[in-house]
Amino acid sequence: DFMPLSVEYQEKTYAAGKIPGGFFKREGRPGTPEILSARLIDRPIRPLFPDNYRNETQVIIYVISSDKENPADVLGGIGASAALSISEIPFNGPIASVRVGKIDDQLVLNPTLPQLEESQINLIVSGTYDSIMMVEGQSEEISETEMLEALRFGHQAIREIIELQQELI
């Protein structure tokens, strides 16, 4: 059942207009946030490969420009899905990922970093057109109804993004 898929996600320091400090002015290995972002991208795409697919596949996402206000991790998942969908690799996608926040009792799609600081929830929702495949996040205490509302809100946005990806294919 092993699928030789590796997903690498790196936010280059020059994407934010910085140069690494210290003696070596080179990029280091990915940090913990980047490793976790790679896992968030891997989880929803891995089950969409055929069971008998055994070719080594690498998905490499480099953030080369960032405005330091919008998180790039969910965009990496959308880009990975689009790249796999237009390639000749047998991929039963596309998928999309969105971040859902809740500020002042209003659901917010892909909140900015300052908005996330005041958000009651921070959910990353990934899925196909028909279903949600992965949910990751944190939240203050909210009701089950509020959580389901956030998931529906996220899945509706996922459907719209997938429709755009379908135009590429």
The pLDDT value recorded for residue 31 is 82
d(CA 61, CA 132): 22
CA distances from 55 to 22, 47, 50, 91 (A): 40, 15, 11, 12
What is the model's pTM?
0.87
Given CA atoms 108, 112, 113, 117 in this order, what sign does their dihedral have? negative
Pairing status of strand 57-63 against strand 5-11: parallel
Rounded-to-10 torsion of CA 12, 33, 135, 103? -90
DSSP H helical segments within the chain, as ranges? 32-45, 73-86, 113-118, 144-168
What's the pLDDT tens digit per position in 18-35?
A: 666 666 666 677 889 899
Token pair in block for residue 165: 């990806």
The pLDDT value recorded for residue 134 is 96
Q: Which CATH number does 5-168 carry?
A: 3.30.230.70
* Below-50 pLDDT ranges, the chain: none
d(CA 158, CA 134): 12
d(CA 89, CA 100): 30
d(CA 154, CA 109): 7
Residues pairing with 101 in the sheet: 108, 122
The pLDDT value recorded for residue 18 is 65
Residue 4 dihedral angles phi and psi, to the nearest 5°: -75, 75
